[in-house]
Structure 1
Amino acid sequence: MEHYTFLRQLADSWGLVVMFLFFVGAILFVFRPGSKEQYAELAKIPLQNGSED
């Protein structure tokens, strides 16, 4: 039971910190400077004609 207790305490303390840092990193990645133009360009891909090679 000691192994379970250790893992539970680890998840309760550091697991929350790791998940929060991952969330903040994902938000910063999505809203980074210059990403708006990249997302606008990527959004147009499905609307392009496939015969333009």
Structure 2
Amino acid sequence: MDYNLMREFADSWGLLAMALFFVGCVAFAFRPGGRTHADQAARIPLKDD
């Protein structure tokens, strides 16, 4: 493939894919019920079984 063609693809569709991935990660982090899972994960190193 030609460098310019790959660059144009990355500039358009690659940027769109990365933006959608970022929005999905942010939405996943702030989903309902996510805080309880994050609190449980934060307490794992402090557990003394």
TM-score in same-fold range (> 0.5): yes
Secondary structure, counterpart of 1:44 in structure 2: helix
In structure 1, list runs of 5 or more residues that go unmatched: none
Quote the sequence identity (%).
Answer: 47
Instruction: Let me know the Cα RMSD of the aligned residues.
Output: 1.2
Aligned length: 49
Superposition misfits of 4+ residues, deviation over 2 angstroms:
none
Write the distance in 2 (CA, Å) between the matches of 1:38 and 1:12: 36
Q: Does 1:32 align with 2:31?
A: yes
**Greater fraction helix:** 2
In structure 2, list runs of 5 or more residues that go unmatched: none
Write the distance in 1 (CA, Å) between the matches of 2:29 and 2:44: 19
The normalised TM-score by structure 2 is 0.89
Amino acid at match of 1:29: F
Secondary structure, counterpart of 1:33 in structure 2: coil
The normalised TM-score by structure 1 is 0.83
